[in-house]
Chains A and B, each alone.
Chain A
Amino acid sequence: METFFHILRYKILSFLKTTFDRKAVTAVRGIGSLVVFGGFALSAYVLSFAITKYLVPKVGLAVFHHLVSMMLFVLFVSVNMGNIIVSYATLYKSPEVGYLFTKPVSFEQIFVLKFLDNFLYSSTTFFLLVFMALLGYGTYVQYQWYTYIILLMFVFTPFLFLSACLGVLILMSLVKVASRVGFRKVVAGLSVVYIAAIALFFKFSSPITMLEGASKLRLGEESAFDVFQIPALALLPNTIASTVLFHLSSGHILDSFLSAAILFLMTTAMFAVVLYVGRKYYYRTWLMTFEFQARSNTVEAGRKVKKFDFRTESRLPAQMEVLVKKEYFLFRREASQWLHLALMLVLVAVFAASIVNVNLRLRVTEVQTLGYLILYAFGGFLSCSLALRFVFPAISLEGNSFWTQLSAPLNMKKPYFLKFALGFVLVLAPALLVAVFSNIPFVRISQRRPLLLYFGVFSAVWVSVTLVSLNLGLGSFFANYKEKNPIRLASSQGATLTFLMSLVYLFALVSVFIIPLTEYFQSLFQILPFDMSAIVAPGTTLYMLSAALSVFALMIGYRSLQRDF
């Protein structure tokens, strides 16, 4: 253990020295981060408090906690999937691992170090989000101050840790299986399993069915909680965590303690399994990844001329042609890039397919407005995530090889514009899909008036422009050419700052449209005329501000390309 803590000490020292140096730029960035993080934390708190205050009296404590359970499920899956992809880079691709393997350090210690590194690096923002949301919720249900500490330590840390443990276990199994059946088959299999799991979860626990059931049954809180508890899902970590919260809010401390103990034990057991598997298979699977690389990088494969190839003619001007081809090949040949995109797109498709047939029977203005805004915010959040994951790292991923472009007779506006265009397409396509499919049920209840559909599509385009500009610009400003891992880049300090700014933007967008949308649904249900200026006026102002933000971010990014390399 002495070696373990020795390495850990130097890792912490290295982190502190690079994060808190005495440069003025770092201080300014630090203050900026603090302001944005503070703003984000405050927004998350206010939003959580407002939602709790709005929903609990309307749907009851029991249904509210089942809705919380669904949100926790999404969080669990996000952390889990994120950890699978990040772990591949930290456990198998990091040069540090190769270096440590040449030293007298046990495989198990290296594994635990990289696992913790990975967990802390990728879950910090989630912790902040969970804590502030908990604070907002706790203010409403009047928690004591120590309750937050207990919940964070014994419920939410084990919850996130369990998700990360599961992610690493899945990853190591994948590497082992892939050595026998091939990488692509394993990835396809994993995608099917995830889609099936998500689809099954929401089939068993549909929020709309639950809301409708709650309004019909009119049960007491305890009975309602039990009625909507699905036995098959009772032992899922999200169900256990929401059960802890429900029992605490209902004053049943012992029940709450028992549920927390189950979660804690599950996490401890899972960590023990991870340690065992890590000790036994980490080094072996690490070696296997080299075999994959060797198998996929052959002279024969490189000699084949394909239709889309550097050797084939193109109608594009020479510089643009090679830039496009370079972008394509770098993306296609980096598994962590296309794999992550494919998974995200599949989830979007599943979501779009399931939302399009939702029957919105409740003709209640508040419910429809809230439903619409949740879907609108989801679409925005999806765009934020895609832009952060694929656009923010775009400049940094040029890496040290960027000298080729910077020393060539190339106007840097060309690669910059190309990255913007590609990022825009990548963010816009799923955003449009979600916008169209999530608006169809609302168009249906609006007697086929397509106003909301137009609004959704226009928003998707505009939001995509703004988010891509923000992420490309700030990604260039915070460029780190030494980091090759796109996921680490997307979870760096600069990326988190950008993401929080994107969320603030999204929050502003949602807030601005609350009143116009309420008026729209009111006019719809009371069969009154709707004044279009109610939606056009705030929309125009906001989009003008978005345009200014986009231009500002793009200019900052472009100027950053002129810095010393």
Chain B
Amino acid sequence: MIELRNVTKKFGNFTAVDGISLTVPAGEFFGFLGPNGAGKTTTIKMMAGLFAPTGGEILINGFDVVQNPIQAKSFTSYVPDQPFLYDKLTGREFLYFIGGLYKMEKKEVARKIVEVIEHFEIGEWVDKRTEDYSQGMRQRVTIAAALVHEPKVLIIDEPMVGLDPRSAKIVRETLHKMAGSGVSIFMSTHSLPMAEELCDRVGFIKDGRLVFLGTQENLQAYKQKYDGKFESVFLELTK
């Protein structure tokens, strides 16, 4: 479960995230939407422990990300918007590296790696060093790495960037299945069809503030106020 309580982030005089509060219970797929520069990535980076909040609290399965970072992070997997990998490691070595950071037993890591390599269809090139990977290949390895330690919370920033249609389909199905098995998923995306297809609830952020928070049903009702299109809701809310 993810809980954000009045979370604020300031950079000097600029407020990037302004008092956001929301809860994502276990097994919920939450979509986080908003225009460029609205504060999505900043919020996600605070949840992943990469930014320290200026105010408020972020709890992952009851553990404060700032006060008890190790416990909080042990439940979490984070997929950044830019899939940065260690250039001089192979994809497989990167997966082992991540497994080790989560203190997994060697045999268990090996088993999970075989599984994710097969699942994401990356076996053909996973033993090459990542310096020669395309954006999509990097993205697939990053998402595969996020699943190695079987997280309870998945924080994922723009997962579809650079993916070909086949890989995108695999990722969509995987995320859907994970939510079904009780994993809390917090996903930032610009893809409105994906949010509509996968998310149980969505939140819209604009200028650091949450301007809409509701279920698919709320969203459908909201859509009817306009021309029935999700895109129109997005444009209206982020105007």
Q: Which A positions have Cβ atoms within 8 angstroms of B?
A: 293-294, 297-299, 301-303, 310-311, 313-314, 317-319, 321-323, 325-326, 329-330, 333-334, 399-401, 403-411, 484, 562, 564-565
The 10 A-B residue pairs with the shortest CB-CB distance in the complex, in nearest-first order: A322-B100, A302-B127, A310-B96, A400-B84, A409-B74, A408-B101, A333-B88, A409-B73, A407-B48, A407-B78
8 contacts between A and B (CB under 8 A): A294-B132, A297-B128, A299-B127, A319-B101, A325-B93, A334-B88, A403-B48, A404-B101
B93: chain A residues within 8 A (beta carbon): 310, 325, 329
Interchain CB contact under 8 A, A319 and B103 = yes
In chain A, what residue has the closest Cβ to B70? A409
Whether A403 touches B84, Cβ cut-off 8 Å, given contacts A311-B96, A409-B101, is: yes
Can you name the residue of chain B whose Cβ is closest to the Cβ of A406?
A: B50
Closest CB-CB distance, A306 to chain B, in whole Å?
11
Closest to B90 in A: A302
Q: Which residues of A contact B88 (CB under 8 A)?
A: 329-330, 333-334
Interface of A is mostly: helix
Instruction: Report the separation of the CA atoms of residues A329 and B88 in the bound assembly, to the nearest whole angstrom.
Output: 7
B129→A411 contact, CB < 8 A: no
Which residues of the other chain, A, contact B72 by a CB distance below 8 angstroms? 409
How far does the Cβ of A550 sit from chain B's closest Cβ, in whole Å? 26
0 or 1 for each of B41-79: is its CB under 8 Å from A? (1 = yes): 000010011111000000000000000011111101010
CB A335 to nearest CB in B, in angstroms, measures 10
Choose among B49, B71, B97, B103 the residue that contacts A407 (Cβ–Cβ < 8 A): B49
Contact at A319–B100, with CB atoms within 8 Å? yes
Tell me which residues across on chain B come within 8 A of A406, comparing CB atoms: 48-50
A403's partner among B70, B78, B96, B129 (CB-CB below 8 A) is: B78
Q: Is B20 an interface residue (CB 8 A)?
A: no
Known: A322-B99, A399-B86, A408-B73. 4 other contacts (CB 8 A): A293-B131, A297-B132, A329-B93, A400-B82
Contacts of B80-109 to chain A: CB distance below 8 A: 80, 82, 84-90, 92-93, 96-106
A residues near B106, Cβ cutoff 8 Å: 313-314, 318
**B88-145 interface with A by 8 A CB criterion:** 88-90, 92-93, 96-106, 110, 124-129, 131-132, 145
Whether the pair A407, B51 counts as a contact (CB closer than 8 A) is: no
CA distance A564 to B66 in the complex (A): 12
Q: Is the CB–CB distance between A299 and B128 below 8 Å?
A: yes
Closest to A333 in B: B88
Verify B129–A333 contact, CB threshold 8 A: yes
User: Which of chain A's residues have a CB closer than 8 A to the CB of B100?
Assistant: 310, 318-319, 321-323
Q: Taking chain B's interface residues, is the majority helix, strand, or loop, or is none over half, making it mixed?
A: mixed
Q: How far is B71's CA from A222's CA once the two chains are assembled, in angstroms?
A: 77
CA distance A401 to B74 in the complex (A): 19
Q: How far is the CB of A354 from chain B (nearest CB, A)?
A: 36
Residues of B within 8 A of A564 (CB): 45, 50-52
| Docked CA distance A323–B131 (Å) | 19
Interface size class, chain B: 35 or more
Q: How far is the CA of A410 from the CA of B87 in the complex (A)?
A: 21
Contact (Cβ within 8 A) A322 B96:
yes
Residue of A whose beta carbon sits closest to that of B93:
A310
Q: Given A297-B131, A313-B106: A565 and B51 within 8 A (CB)?
A: yes
**Complexed CA–CA distance, A322 and B80 (Å):** 21
Beyond A318-B103, A400-B84, is A411–B48 a contact (Cβ under 8 Å)? no
CB distance from B45 to the nearest CB of A (A): 7
B71, A302: Cβ atoms under 8 Å?
A: no
Q: How far is the CA of A322 from the CA of B105 in the complex (A)?
A: 12
Chain B, Cβ-Cβ closest to A562:
B52
Q: Closest residue to A297 on the B side, CB-wise? A: B129
Report the minimal beta-carbon distance from A302 to chain B, rounded to whole angstroms. 3
Residue in B closest to A322 when the chains form the complex, CB atoms? B100
Q: Which residue on A lies nearest to B73, using beta carbons?
A: A409
Bound: A170/B31 CA distance, A: 56
Residues of A within 8 A of B110 (CB): 311
B128→A298 contact, CB < 8 A? yes
Q: Are B80 and A408 closer than 8 Å at their CB atoms?
A: no
For the complex formed, measure the closest distance between the CB of A390 and the CB atoms of chain B, giving whole angstroms: 16
A317–B101 alpha-carbon span in the complex (Å): 10
In the complex, chain B residues 155-212 whose Cβ is within 8 Å of any chain A Cβ: none
Neighbouring B residues of A293 by C-beta, 8 Å: 131-132
**A401 touching B84 by the CB < 8 A rule?**
yes
- Report A403 CB to chain B, min CB distance, Å: 6
Q: Which of A298, A311, A330 has the most CB of B within 10 A?
A: A311
| Chain A residues closer than 8 Å to B48, beta-carbon distance | 403, 406-407
Q: Considering only CB atoms, which chain A residue lies closest to B76 in the complex?
A: A407
Residues of B within 8 A of A313 (CB): 106
Q: How far is the CB of B73 from chain A (nearest CB, A)?
A: 4
